[in-house]
C-alpha cells in the first residue's frame, strides 16, 4: 500500500508529528516510542472491534488467534514493506543502514504512524486508517480460527498428542537481517529462513510438521 499517505488525515503528512512517528530512538529526540505505544493499543482495538462485529460470531479464543495473525510483528513488517517505509525511517548509531531497518523497527514504525493518526485526528480517523492498511490481510484471514494457528503452535499440539517433548529451536545464523533456525521435534528436523527469528522458526516448524505428517 504505497499510497498510504493519501489515507492520512488532512494536514498530517506535513505535520512534524508524522516525522516523529518515522524517527527511531537511535536518531535522537523526538522519537517514536511513545507514539508506538499508543498505536499498538489503537491497532489492537480496531482489529478487536472488527473481529467482534463479524457475522460469524467467533469465540473469544478464535478472535484472539485471528487478532494475533493481524497484529504480530511479522504481519506488521509485511505491512511496512508494502508501505515502502524502509527508506523513510530516520535511524542512526548502530542502526546505520536506513535502507534495511530490522523487522522490529519496521513494525514499530507502523504502530507509531497509527498512533500519530489517532493523536492528530482521533478515533474515527485512526480506525479508517488501520482498516485501509489491513484490508488485504483482513480479506485473506481464514474463516476458521483453527486455520490461523501458526506452525509453531500446530507443532506443539502435534507433539502433545504424540506425548513427545519439544520442540527445540536453535538459531544457526543471524546475519544481514536474515535468520536461519534449526528445529528438532519428534525425531525429525527442519531448517527455516526468515527476516526475523520468529519467521525462521515458523518455517522450520512447518518443515517438521510436514515430515511428521508424512
> Is residue 40 among the annotated active site residues?
yes
CA distance 9 to 121: 7
Q: Which of 14, 111, 146, 157 is catalytic?
A: 111
H helices of 29-143, in order, are 33-52, 60-71, 73-82, 103-121, 123-139
CB atoms within 10 A of CB 161: 8
CA distance 32 to 14: 16
> Is residue 111 among the annotated active site residues?
yes
CA 164-166-168 angle, to 5 degrees, is 155
From the annotation, which residues make up the binding site for Mg(2+)?
36, 111
Residue 86's nearest CA partner among 97, 72, 74, 94 is 97
Q: Which of 14, 15, 33, 40 is catalytic?
A: 40
User: Which SS3 state, helix, strand or coil, does residue 174 take?
Assistant: strand
Active site residues: 40, 111
Amino acid at each position: 500500500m504505497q499510497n498510504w499517505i493519501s489515507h492520512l488525515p488532512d494536514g498530517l503528512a506535513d505535520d512534524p508529528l508524522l516525522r516523529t512517528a518515522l524517527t527511531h530512538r537511535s536518531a535522537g529526540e523526538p522519537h517514536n516510542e511513545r507514539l508506538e505505544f499508543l498505536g499498538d493499543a489503537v491497532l489492537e482495538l480496531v482489529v478487536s472491534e472488527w473481529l467482534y462485529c463479524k457475522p460469524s460470531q467467533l469465540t473469544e479464543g478464535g478472535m484472539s488467534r485471528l487478532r494475533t495473525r493481524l497484529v504480530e510483528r511479522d504481519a506488521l513488517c509485511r505491512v511496512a514493506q508494502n508501505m515502502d517505509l524502509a527508506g523513510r525511517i530516520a535511524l542512526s548509531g548502530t542502526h546505520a543502514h536506513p535502507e534495511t531497518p530490522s523487522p522490529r523497527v519496521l513494525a514499530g514504525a507502523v504502530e507509531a504512524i497509527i498512533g500519530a493518526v489517532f493523536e492528530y485526528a482521533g478515533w474515527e480517523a485512526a480506525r479508517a486508517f488501520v482498516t485501509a492498511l489491513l484490508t488485504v490481510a483482513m480479506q485473506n484471514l481464514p474463516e476458521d480460527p483453527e486455520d490461523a494457528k501458526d506452525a509453531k503452535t500446530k507443532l506443539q499440539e502435534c507433539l502433545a498428542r504424540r506425548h513427545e517433548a519439544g520442540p527445540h529451536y536453535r538459531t544457526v545464523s543471524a546475519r544481514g537481517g536474515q535468520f536461519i533456525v534449526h528445529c528438532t521435534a519428534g525425531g525429525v528436523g527442519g531448517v527455516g529462513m526468515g527476516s526475523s527469528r520468529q519467521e525462521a522458526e515458523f518455517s522450520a516448524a512447518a518443515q517438521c510438521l510436514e515430515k511428521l505428517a508424512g
